[in-house]
Amino acid sequence: MTKHPIISMICCLILTIIFKTVSAQGDADSISYKQAVFNLINHFDQGIGEESRLYNGFGYNYYDPNIKGNAYLDDVNRWRNGTVDYDGETFENVPLIYDINADQVIVSLFNHNSPSRLVSDKVASFNLSGRHFVRVSNNSSGIKSGFYEQLYGGRSQVLNKYEKAIHTTNSSSGLERYFMPVYDYQEYYIRKDDKYYSIGDGSLSAVLEVFKDKRKELRQYIKDNKIQFNSLHELALVNIATYYDHLTN
C-alpha cells in the first residue's frame, strides 16, 4: 500500500477544516480561501514527490549531442520554470522543456535527476517564457493534433505552430545532422465556429478570407487604426481577431 491515499485523506481533512473556518466568515474572505486551497493542493502535489500525478508520464531520452542545434523552444536546452494544466490539475513552478521536434512537454522529475515526458493527451495547456500553449486534438476540424501557441483565445482563436525536424546533409567530413524549422515562416491558424483554418504566414488576404462575413468592416478597421503586417505581425492578427469577435458578439 502506497502512502498516496493516506496523504490524500490528510489533505482532504485540512481542506475541510479550512472550508468550515472560512465559511463562518464573510464573502470578503472567499478569495483568500480559494488561494489557500490552490496553494495547499499545489504544495501537496509537490510534496508527494514521485507519486504526484505530474510524474505519471514516460522516460525521456536526450538527442544525440552530435546533432547540431537543438529541438527546443527558443533554441533553449535548459530547464525553465513554467505552469502546466495536466490531468485535471494545475502545477506551477515546474521545470519544463518544450521539445518542438517531438511535440512533447518534458518535466524534470521530483529528484531533478531524470527528465520525463508528459502524456500529451493529458496536457490541456502550459505556459513557458511568457507564452501560452494549448493542446488541440485531431477531431476533423482542419488541424492536426499537437501543441500550439495561443496568441489570442477569445471566441475566435489565433494559433501559431512551431515545428522542427532533423535534416541530413553531406559535407567534407561526412554526414551532418542538424535541427531546422519545418517552415521558412511561422505557421498560423485561426479558429472560427469551432473549425480551424490554416492561414500560412498570416497574410492579410488569408485573414480576411476566414473572416469574409465581416470583410468590409475589418478593412475599414485596419485602415482607421493603421494596422501593419510588419514587425508587429502577430499583434495585427490578434487585433483583427479581437475586433471580429466584437463585431459578431
Task: For residue range 6-44, list pLDDT tens digits in order.
Answer: 444 445 545 555 555 555 555 556 666 556 545 544 554
Band the pLDDT of 161: cuts 50, 70, 90. Answer: very high
Which residue would you say has higher pLDDT here, 82 or 110? 82
Residues 153, 154, 155: CA angle, nearest 5 degrees: 125
Domain boundary assignment for the chain: 4-51, 152-164+179-249
Between CA 188 and CA 162 the distance in angstroms is: 9
Least trusted range by pLDDT, from 152-161, 162-171, 179-188: 179-188
Cβ-Cβ contacts under 8 Å for 84 (sequence gap 6 or more): 54, 90, 91, 94, 96, 105, 107, 118, 123, 125, 126, 127
Task: For residue range 56-79, list pLDDT tens digits in order.
Answer: 778 899 999 999 999 999 999 899
Task: For residue range 126-157, list pLDDT tens digits in order.
Answer: 999 999 999 998 765 678 899 999 999 999 99
Could you tell me the pTM of the whole model? Answer: 0.77
